[in-house]
Chain A
Amino acid sequence: MPSIVVNTKDISQESNNLGSPYDYINLMKPRVMSLVVFTAFVGYYNAAPVLDSSINPFLALIGIFAIALGAGASGVLNQWFDKDIDILMDRTKNRPIPSGKIQPSEALSFGIITSILSIMILGLSINWLAASLLAFTIFFYAVVYTIWLKRHTVQNIVIGGAAGAFPPIIGHICATGSIGIEALILFLIIFLWTPPHFWALALVNKSDYRAAKIPMLPIVYGDMTTRKNIFIYSLLLMLCVYLPWILNYSGNFYVIVVTLLNIEFIRRSISVLKENKDSEKDLFVYSIFYLSILFASICFDKFIINFMIG
């Protein structure tokens, strides 16, 4: 009977690096995934309310799952490539790869497989235009942003912000089969929201980005330039969020909510400009709340309109 020879040295290393399902879920950046799912759903619902949609609701649900999987896959590929800088930053050093819970090669395989699966599921369940845009989004985030932009240009999160802005367009394509103006407006809102959000974070974690040699705006051009840019982008965002109302895609409920949200956003941006204590952190936290409520109000507004039409 043949005996099995086990090299315990290899085992001791590998047993610590197999990773639990929880580690794999963490590797997919669940918080980013939830935001992607939410914005994609708003893009979908805004284009065709679920009850009137010609798409089977179960298929729509599978489509949203595919988008979530694609977002997770791009997060995995991002962490695989950034393993050398994640270990240098306090904010990211406990992620599954730098902390040694998952091996980089396993993360790469996992990222590629989930990318392909997400594209296939979306293509087969909804349509191939949505699947193509999902593929492009994964490519944009994993290659254009993570590999090309992040370490080489100060405009990294400005251009890279497009990756996070695609999900509402994918949601819209899922519902209608084509790209519409409403979806492009939602794209623009997330695109303009990204710089103030990430630059506020960069001001808070400046030492982290400096240690990892990432050319974020505060590192390259200093704090004051960053604060001014945050304010400028905040103003652009404030104007842009009225587009759904101006173009008659959203009603009065939406305009009331965004006006209230805008007042607070501007107040916090001015606070950042004045260099008030903890103002950057406050703006960062509020920006997440801002986007969530803004997108929820688009949905709710659509719901009210549909309810009134009957």
Chain B
Amino acid sequence: MKSNKNDEYTKAFYENRKSKNFAILGIIIFMVVLFFFITILRMDVTA
């Protein structure tokens, strides 16, 4: 019974950590794209 509970916690922990890692990955990709666009938009092509 106790073992089952521990298994559930372990599963929940890994699932939470996995979704958090995906969220961080998403944020990093978003930032890369954002800074890319900032650079492109701020480039003075007439200079």
A-B contact count (CB 8 A): 38
What are 7 inter-chain pairs, A to B, with CB distance below 8 A?
Answer: A8-B6, A11-B10, A12-B6, A62-B37, A121-B34, A125-B41, A125-B42
CB distance from A111 to the nearest CB of B (A): 15
Counting chain B residues whose Cβ lies within 8 A of the other chain, the interface size class is 10 to 19
Q: Taking chain B's interface residues, is the majority helix, strand, or loop, or is none over half, making it mixed?
A: helix
Contacting pair B13 A56 (CB below 8 A): no
* Residue A21 at the chain B interface, CB threshold 8 Å: yes
CB distance from B7 to the nearest CB of A (A): 9
**Out of A15, A21, A56, A62, which one reaches B23, CB within 8 Å?**
A21
Contacting pair A11 B42 (CB below 8 A): no
* Residue A304 at the chain B interface, CB threshold 8 Å: no
Look across to chain B and name the residue whose beta carbon is closest to the beta carbon of A55.
B41
When A18-B17, A117-B31 are in contact, do A8 and B38 touch as well, CB less than 8 Å?
no
Interface string of B13-47 (1 = CB under 8 A from A): 10011001001000000010011011001100000
* Residue A307 at the chain B interface, CB threshold 8 Å: no
**Out of A11, A12, A59, A117, which one reaches B38, CB within 8 Å?**
A59
Contacting pair B38 A15 (CB below 8 A): no
Counting chain A residues whose Cβ lies within 8 A of the other chain, the interface size class is 10 to 19
**Out of B9, B16, B23, B35, which one reaches A124, CB within 8 Å?**
B35
Q: What CA separation (Å) do A8 and B35 show in the bound complex?
A: 41
**Out of A15, A21, A59, which one reaches B9, CB within 8 Å?**
A15
Q: What CA separation (Å) do A110 and B24 show in the bound complex?
A: 11
Residues of B in contact with A (beta carbons under 8 Å apart): 6, 9-10, 12-13, 16-17, 20, 23, 31, 34-35, 37-38, 41-42
Contacting pair A58 B9 (CB below 8 A): no
CB distance from B13 to the nearest CB of A (A): 4
Interface string of A114-125 (1 = CB under 8 A from B): 000100010011
Contacts of B34 in A (CB 8 A): 62, 121
Interface string of A176-200 (1 = CB under 8 A from B): 0000000000000000000000000
Q: What CA separation (Å) do A58 and B17 show in the bound complex?
A: 34
Contacts of B38 in A (CB 8 A): 59, 62, 121, 124-125
Contacts of B41 in A (CB 8 A): 56, 58-59, 125
Look across to chain B and name the residue whose beta carbon is closest to the beta carbon of A57.
B41
When A59-B38, A124-B38 are in contact, do A11 and B23 touch as well, CB less than 8 Å?
no
CB distance from B40 to the nearest CB of A (A): 10
Contacting pair A15 B42 (CB below 8 A): no
CB distance from B24 to the nearest CB of A (A): 10
Look across to chain A and name the residue whose beta carbon is closest to the beta carbon of B3.
A8
List which A1-60 residues lie within 8 A (CB) of chain B.
6, 8, 11-12, 14-15, 18, 21, 56, 58-59
